[in-house]
Structure formats: C-alpha cells, structure tokens
Structure 1
C-alpha cells in the first residue's frame, strides 16, 4: 500500500470541519508539561527505491532461512506450507482478522471458522473448540482463569516449570492483580514434570503441563491427568507444536479437560515472531465458561444450512461482571490458515509429516551421541531435544553463526542450572546434509 499524504488544503478542510484553527488546537486538552517541546529526531526522508534498498539491507543482517540453517524451535517452528494454503488465503473473501458480527453477509468467513473449530477438535481430541485466541501464551492464561471460574472456590493452580517460559510469564502477568496463587512444579532428571507433590496440595483449581514440553520431552499425560483429578482439579494441557499430535495420542484421549496452545505450525509463517494462533478446546460441559467466541451451525427460515456467532461471552456483548474474558477479537485469518493447512495435509499427511519430524530429530540426536555429545534427557522427544555443549559453548555458537548455522537456543537464560545446554530443533525443512554439517562443525574444537 502506498502512503498518500494529506495536502495543506486537506488539513485546512479537516480543521475547519472540527472547529480548530491549527493542529496545535487539537492537542490543547493535553497539559503543557505532558507535551514534547522539541521535534522528534528522525532521519531524512528517503525515496521509495532508497527505502526498498534500506529494508533489503536490514533483512540481510537477520539470520533466517534459507540462507541460514536454523536449528531453533522453542515455540516457533519452520514447516513447509502447501501452495494451496497460500493461494486460498490470498482470496479477498478470507482477508479479514475478525469474526464478523453480521452473519447474513459473512457466511463464508463464518463457515471457514466453523471448519477450523471442527478440525481443531479432531486434532486435539476434544468436544468443542472456540474461534481462536490471540496466541498460545494468552490461551494458557485464559485456560487457567477458566479453571478457577469452574472450581469457584479454589484459587490455586499448579503449573509445570517445563511449560514455555514466556507462557508462564504471561500467566504471571494475568494473575498479578488477583489473589490467585501459582505453584510451580519442578522437573525430573528425565526431562519430565515432577508431580510427586501434587498429593500434598490442597485447593487446586487446575494442574497445567505442556507436551511436548519446552525440552521437547513427551509428558505422560494420562498419569498426570489421573493425579490432577484425584485432587479434584481440572487438567489443562498446553502445547507449542500441534504437529506432534499427528503421531502421539491426543490430549483429550489422555483425560485433558482443557487443551490450549500455539497453532503457528499449521501453515502460518514464523514472520519474526508473529502473528500466532491461540488454539483452545474443552469438554462440552464447560462450553459456557470458555473465553472468546464460538461459531455454530444452524438453518435459515428456508431450511438451508447457515452459520452464526453462537457464543460470545465477552464484556462487549454481555454485562461486564458476567464476561468470561475481555478478549476483543480472534485470530480469524490465522485460524482460517490453520483450517486450510489441516484440510490440505489431511490426517494421513499429518501422521507422515509428524513421523518425518520425529525421525529427523532422532537421527540428529544419534549422530551427536556418536560425536561424543551428551543428550541431557532420556525421555522420548518429538522434533526438538536438549544437548550439552562442553567447554566454551558461547564461542562455538558464535563460530557456527559465522558459518550461517543457528545451533539452537541457549537454555541458561531460562534455566540457570542448564548453562551450556542448548535446545535443538529439526523439522522436515532440515536435510540430512544440514544435520551432518552441524555435527561436523560441532566436532571442531575452539
């Protein structure tokens, strides 16, 4: 879109319309001590082609595929996107970020979201899914608040320390102004959540874990769910890599009451961190406590199939004190993308793709073991795992970066006890040659 500036005549006309003599008059209500006295320090303007060159130069300093071989996941994953998704998404009928309010003129968009909800339920093994949340982190926070609403009296939630650190930070932000308590569950030496203290915890509204967790390890959801239910708490499962459920049992089949997470892997480009897709599903009995919106299917007066905004339990629609959430929109375009991706790949394709991700990660894991590196945790993993780089790991990481290889994510920032440990990720986009090159470069001593 080109930038079309206002002319002096345009500005004068608008000022006259609002009854102001100058642009300064518009800001007269703002106290003087709150206004900037000096001009903004901005660079000189560029021509359109100079600006394009400048943006290109900025892009070249970013370590991204295909120029760089990126072995980093940690909640954002590089996957191939079918051409059908890109084509369909470009159609003007779908280019909107919102669930519309006028069902009579928005049947196409409403049906697309309805199909997304159906496919999300199938993928996660749940009975009902909403029209999407902002992202995986906000979906988890909303899930825990939902569990507290359902339990009514309990105001304590147990959260695994192996849930994505940034997700846990968002939960803390949501809970900070409340009197709700967050209890963090530690992790075991095998890379799974330690639930041994659950039996000693009273007044729990929910127990939340992530699988595959932040270390890439697959949690035993069935056992954790049984322990949560013994405490009369809801079992909340989170995820950052939904593709894993093409290979492993669904959270719903393992006893989950609420399933939430990030759907970026389902056809959405990484795009330097956004946008994302907050997937959210639950059991039918908890439907009216679910945040966000729900698209339903109905019939019109002529008996033809139609789609409507069935539930919208938010403060803009009902009395604020009865709202389940203040979420104002859903990620409509991203949810539509995910539906297109799941429909294009299909159930068989999801299984094959998940198996490919699993096999490639296992190959890299085995090659690193042969090269003398220690795999930190013995639990089964999906497409990422933790490896320890002995010695001066930062120097090795920088040397690899100089060779255009991004060797995972350093865990020391989030888990100080895991200094020199790196989270490596392999998806279908990484070739055997890429992995062999990584191992070969790591063998070189600094």
Structure 2
C-alpha cells in the first residue's frame, strides 16, 4: 500500500478535531524519562530519485548470483501481473474468512484455487491450505493414521526431502506414530519395488511416494501405489505442482490412484524470498474428505437462486471440540494462495506445461554439457524432471566455493543429508535459465574442477 504523508495542515486539522494542541500533548501519558528526544542519527530527507539511487546501490552490494539451486524451492519467472493484482488492497488485507457470509470474494478465490489444485493433481477435493510442503506431509501422515485406524506406522522412502522427513517426525512422534524409512537403490536413485519385500508381512497406515523425488529422479509411482493398496495401506503422493503439467497426476497412479496428494506450492508464483512465506497444498479422494485438515470452500445457491460460497466441513479446533479436530495447526496461507491462483489463471494449462517443458529441457541440456567435463558424471541413471545429482571427482564443497566466487550458486551438497553421496551436487535449471547461463555454469565448473584438481 502506498505511504501518503500528512501535511502540517492535515496534522493541525486532526489535532483540532480531537481537542489536542500538539502531538506531544496527544502522547502526554508517556513518562518523560522514556522519551528519547530528537532522532539525531537520522540523515536528512532525500528526494525520490535520490532514495531510489541509494537503495539500488545498497542492493548491488549483495551481488547477483546465477542460481542453480533447487532442492524444494525453485526460481521461476513470475509475471508482473501476479503480485500487482495480489497486493491490491482487497486481496492484500484479506487473511481468512472468519465471517464467511461477509467474505464472498475471498471464498470465491479459494474455491477457484481448490478447483485448480484438484484438477492439477487429478484428485476429488482440495483444502485451502497449509503452512508449507513439509507440514502438509506431516498432516497427510496424521490423516492416513486416522483413516487406517489399526496401524500407526508410516513407510517413508529416503528419497523424500530430508527436511520434510524431519518435520514429519517432529509432528507425529508425540502421537505414538512410527516413521519407518525405506532405502533407495544407489544405482537408480529410486525406491526399488523389491526393496519393499522386507516390509511385506508388516502393517502400515501409508506409503509416502515422492514424484519427482529429492534427487530429481522419477519414481515408479504406479508400482508403488499398487503395492500400498495391495497391503491395505494408503498411498500418499508428495509432488512438485509444476511437474504435474507434464507428468501423470497422482489421481491416476496405479489401478486406483493415490489417496492423498501434498506438496509445496512455492513454484506457483511465489518468490524465493529467502525461504518464505510459502504454502502447502493438500488434495485427496472424496472418501477421505472428512479426515482432511484445513478449510474447504463449497459453492451453493441461496433462496433466490443466486450463487454463493460457504465454508464447509470445518473440522478444525476453532469450530468443533479440540478432541475431535483434524488438526490444530492448519491455516489458510491466504496471500500465497491468492498469488498461486492468479499465477495459474494467467498461465493456464498450456502455459504451465511450457514452464515444465522448458525447465526439463534446460536441465537435460545442462547435464549433457557438464557430463562432458572430466571428473563429472551423473550419480543416478534414471529419468529426471528438472533436477539431477552429479558426482564430482574432487571435493564438492571446494568446487561450490569456487563457483560462488565467480557468481554462480552451483547446487546443493547432498552429503550433508546423505553421507554415502560424497562429493555429489544436486543441480537444478528452470525456465529462467538461458543458453548463455548454461554455458557460463559449464565454463566456471570446468575452471573450478581444474583448480581443485
């Protein structure tokens, strides 16, 4: 919102209206010893042009980095219209529809968001929404346990984002829910189906299925989903929403489709912003809707036949007894969902597909270039979306430091989360990268490898 300063005449008129002679008299209840007096360290006022120049110079001190970091937060192009519309007063100041009947605009936007997310994931219903992708996965685990009723164990592949796994453990551990990790195939970076045989005689509430997984690799989602259903367990998908413009949606995995789909909504028009705020999305099949946390918006008609929107199935602690609530941390990240809705509306299915296809093509081109360098090879031989793991023949941490010195953020060091993946980088390229950007990365990596060797 714009800052509009008051003139001296404005101030005098307002003081006169409330019967105060001065600003000091207005705040005369503040003890004198608490007042600091005049602000002597504040520099003199600047013109708009001067302050713009100053802020530009300050911003330049941070430097500009060409980023190839992904790992759950992605640099995508965001059309200027997205946040120009999102920050309009009617959206910007509208947090959550506590008085639903007076919040028709907010409710309609959330309804449109839910419709888009259900369509994108191939599921029946969506909520609106959750804190982030990690807490959305934790809520899905709780939801699966409530639905399953007899088991309080969750199967989680190690290919699920390590931060997501940590957040899930933190949230479920005090509810006597056991998280059992599934190892990955070191050759493919996938969960091999025969790896699950060791759990064949045990009961689990759900199997978590990432697509793509943390390594950027595409999992065998059909086989994993059918395995879970054959074991009378739920299949919970953790997906990148942009990838769904190209890949089969969770609702079509296997014979019956996944039961729950969650993920991080940041790629849908939310800037990186040093890590937040982001939002988590959750969709599910119709039979699980009463177990879903968060708000669900319904469309109806009034007595005059006019269309209206309403909160429905409000199974949170604000609306029912806490002991019966599906969650006490669920929230509507209203502003982020607004931006995502506008982003998806502007791009449409074709635009979202182009973003996904261009991101995939850029990553394929980059990996092909980098593999030609001596001492660089792919860590896994499996299909990938827009991230891939590269194994280096020299210390990867030193290489990253050399890249950064050249203005390139070269990726994520995987051994911080996977000790067996020594000197392995997770590299990402989205649609924001040009051929010149890929060439620059290749050249500075070549130099860094040579220097490190």
TMscore range, shorter length: 0.7 to 0.9
Separation of aligned partners in 2, 1:73 and 1:177: 31
Report if aligned partners of 1:132, 1:277 keep a CA contact under 8 Å in 2. yes
Deviation at 1:336, TM superposition (A): 1.4
Question: Which residue in 2 is equivalent to 1:304?
Answer: 306
What's the RMSD between the two structures over aligned residues?
2.7
For the structure 1 residues 238 and 53, does the alpha-carbon distance in structure 2 shift closer, same or farther, using more than 3 Å as the test?
same
The answer to whether residue 238 in structure 2 is matched with residue 238 in structure 1 is: yes
The answer to whether residue 122 in structure 2 is matched with residue 125 in structure 1 is: yes
**Matched residue SS, 2:238:** strand
**Matched residue SS, 2:271:** coil
Question: Which residue in 2 is equivalent to 1:168?
Answer: 165
Question: Which residue in 1 is equivalent to 2:409?
Answer: 406
Deviation at 1:177, TM superposition (A): 1.5
Matches within 5 A, 1:409-428: 409-428=412-431
Deviation at 1:82, TM superposition (A): 1.6
Deviation at 1:329, TM superposition (A): 2.5
Matches within 5 A, 1:34-183: 46-47=42-43, 59-60=59-60, 62=62, 67-96=64-93, 98-183=95-180
Q: TM-score, normalised by structure 1?
A: 0.87
For the structure 1 residues 300 and 165, does the alpha-carbon distance in structure 2 shift closer, same or farther, using more than 3 Å as the test?
same
Q: Out of 310-319 and 117-126, give the one that drifted further.
A: 310-319
Q: Out of 201-210 and 118-127, give the one that drifted further.
A: 201-210
Q: TM-score, normalised by structure 2?
A: 0.86
Deviation at 1:213, TM superposition (A): 0.6
Deviation at 1:105, TM superposition (A): 2.1
**Matched residue SS, 1:356:** helix
Report if aligned partners of 1:98, 1:329 keep a CA contact under 8 Å in 2. no
Separation of aligned partners in 2, 1:48 and 1:136: 45
Question: Which residue in 1 is equivalent to 2:15?
Answer: none
Deviation at 1:89, TM superposition (A): 1.0
Question: Which residue in 1 is equivalent to 2:250?
Answer: 251
Report if aligned partners of 1:96, 1:332 keep a CA contact under 8 Å in 2. no
Question: Which residue in 1 is equivalent to 2:364?
Answer: 362
CA deviations on 1:328-353 (whole Å, 9 max, x unpaired) are 53111111111111111111111122
Report if aligned partners of 2:76, 2:269 keep a CA contact under 8 Å in 1. yes
**Matched residue SS, 1:204:** coil
Separation of aligned partners in 1, 2:422 and 2:58: 31
Separation of aligned partners in 2, 1:58 and 1:152: 57
Separation of aligned partners in 2, 1:104 and 1:371: 62
Moved over 6 A (4+): 1-4, 48-58
For the structure 1 residues 53 and 204, does the alpha-carbon distance in structure 2 shift closer, same or farther, using more than 3 Å as the test?
farther
For the structure 1 residues 155 and 53, does the alpha-carbon distance in structure 2 shift closer, same or farther, using more than 3 Å as the test?
farther
Separation of aligned partners in 2, 1:129 and 1:326: 18
Q: Structure 1: 5+ residue runs without aligned partners? A: 16-21, 24-43
Question: Which residue in 1 is equivalent to 2:336?
Answer: 334
The answer to whether residue 443 in structure 2 is matched with residue 440 in structure 1 is: yes
Separation of aligned partners in 1, 2:54 and 2:317: 44
Deviation at 1:106, TM superposition (A): 1.3
For the structure 1 residues 233 and 54, does the alpha-carbon distance in structure 2 shift closer, same or farther, using more than 3 Å as the test?
farther
**Matched residue SS, 2:175:** coil
Q: Structure 2: 5+ residue runs without aligned partners? A: 7-22, 35-39
Deviation at 1:11, TM superposition (A): 6.1
For the structure 1 residues 171 and 62, does the alpha-carbon distance in structure 2 shift closer, same or farther, using more than 3 Å as the test?
farther
